[in-house]
Amino acid sequence: MSESIGPFRLMPWFSERPWGRHDLRPWYSETGTPELVGEAWLTGPQCVVETGTLIGQTLAQATTEACDSILGEGSESEFPLLVKLLFPSEKLSVQVHPDDAMAQEMGQPRGKTECWYVLEAETGATIALGLREGVTAEAVRTAVDGVHRVGMTLEDLLEWVPVTVGEMIFVDAGTVHAIGPGVVLLETQQTSDTTYRLYDYGRGRELHLELGLRALKLQTAAGKVQSRAMAGFTRLIEQKYFVVDRYDVAAGCEASVRVEGAGCLVGLSGSASVMREGFEAVELPMGRAVVVPVECGAVRIKSNAGASFVRCYAP
């Protein structure tokens, strides 16, 4: 059994993308790079622990050293969820992710099912979620291979959906999808970065048509998810691979948050302190993740000046 570990905060890791932004405020005052940043990885394996007894280690190292405490006895030593913030200033590529079965056929441990929680959205912001009714895999191939000949792009075959702040979208593996500009999204997904790019607006990046056609499904469970009021929090989504709950705690008040599986807390606004008896309190500012080891059972969250955060965990 690993030694007891208290909650600990991770430094975000910034991923450069051609569709990203230079300015990520108010979420981050700086990124450490002059390049466009599209994603802030909050629980990536390379994210560095910045509080507690594991300070200086990457999350991958921490979950190897203290696997039983952080992830639960008998778990594989890999954090099960990759949580990110997405900052598109242009459209993301049209892409698709494999499910577990296909990923394992390709020698990978798992597929990539994900969800998006809309934190910011300009008027008219949209995402593409699945193919329009009646579109076939052959039509997808034709639109990608013969765009100049047929006079259409893969964009024209997608179901574009308007989004507003506070909505949760489930993106089942096999769903052809894209994200438009003018949004900030909190993405919770299986720990995988396997993406098959089908169309990229002529940016010159590699496409993966054959693998994408194998991965895509004409019908999936993707769509907007209705939130549910629970005792002390709001359940945003509950799926096989992840659960995401939102907490809103008034200034000076406290909330008890139970640990239901390996996961983390992510600050959305304000500031709060994450407390476990016998350990130093850990601050939870917006845009940062605090990992709560499974062995904690429950932690207390004290709101310093009014705080909102989400709990993301693997059930």
Residue-level pLDDT at 147: 57
User: CB of 273 within 8 A of CB of 301?
Assistant: yes
The amino acid present at 44, given as its one-letter code, is G
Which of the listed residues 225, 244, 278 is the one where a domain comes to its end? Answer: 225
Query: Which residue reads 């696997």 in tokens?
Result: 67
Contact 26, 300 (CB under 8 A): no
Tokens representing residue 314 in the block: 């693997």
Residue range 104-113: average pLDDT?
95
Q: Are residues 184 and 235 both part of a single domain?
A: no
Domain end residue (candidates: 194, 225, 256): 225
pTM of the model: 0.96
> For position 270, which CATH number holds?
2.60.120.10
What is the per-residue pLDDT for 151?
55
Let me know: does 35 contact 99? Beta carbons within 8 Å.
no
H-helix or E-strand containing 143? helix 137-145
What pLDDT, on a 0 to 100 scale, did the predictor assign at position 275?
96
| Residue 119 scores a pLDDT above 50 | yes
Q: Rounded distance, CA 256 to CA 260, Å?
A: 12
CA distance 190 to 240: 10
Q: Is residue 86 part of a domain?
A: yes
Judged on CB neighbours under 10 Å (0-12, 13-18, 19+), 123 is: exposed
- Mean per-residue pLDDT over the chain, rounded: 94
Report pLDDT digits (tens) over 125-157. 999 999 999 999 999 998 887 654 545 789 999
Does 275 share its domain with 290? yes
CA of 48: how far to CAs of 22, 29, 53, 274, in Å?
22, 18, 12, 18
Q: Is the residue at 2 inside a domain?
A: no
Task: List the beta bridge partners of residue 179.
Answer: 127
Asked whether the predicted pLDDT for residue 91 surpasses 70, the reply is: yes
What was the pLDDT predicted at 40? Answer: 98
The number of beta carbons lying within 10 Å of the beta carbon of residue 2 is 15
Give per-residue pLDDT as tens, 37-82: 999 999 999 999 999 999 999 999 999 999 999 999 989 899 999 9
Residues 113 and 175 reside in one and the same domain: yes
Is residue 1 over pLDDT 60? Answer: no
Q: 102 — phi, psi (to 5°)?
A: -65, -40
Give the three-class secondary structure for 70: helix
* Shared-domain flag, residues 40 and 137: yes
Please check whether residues 217 and 243 belong to one and the same domain.
no
Q: 204 is in which domain, residue-wise?
A: 8-225
Domain boundary residue, one of 225, 251, 282: 225
Neighbours of 200 (CB within 10 A): 19
Same domain, 57 and 204: yes
Tell me the pLDDT tens digit for each residue of 8-21.
Answer: 999 999 999 999 99
State the pLDDT at residue 146: 64
Report the domain count for the chain. Answer: 2
Residue 3 lies in a domain: no
In this predicted model, what pLDDT tens digit does every residue of 190-216 receive, in sequence order? 999 899 999 998 888 999 999 999 999
Residues 215 and 240 in one domain: no
Q: Is residue 1 part of a domain?
A: no
Q: Are residues 184 and 72 in the same domain?
A: yes
Q: What is the pLDDT of residues 223-244, one digit of tens each?
A: 999 999 999 999 999 999 999 9
pLDDT higher than 50, residue 90: yes
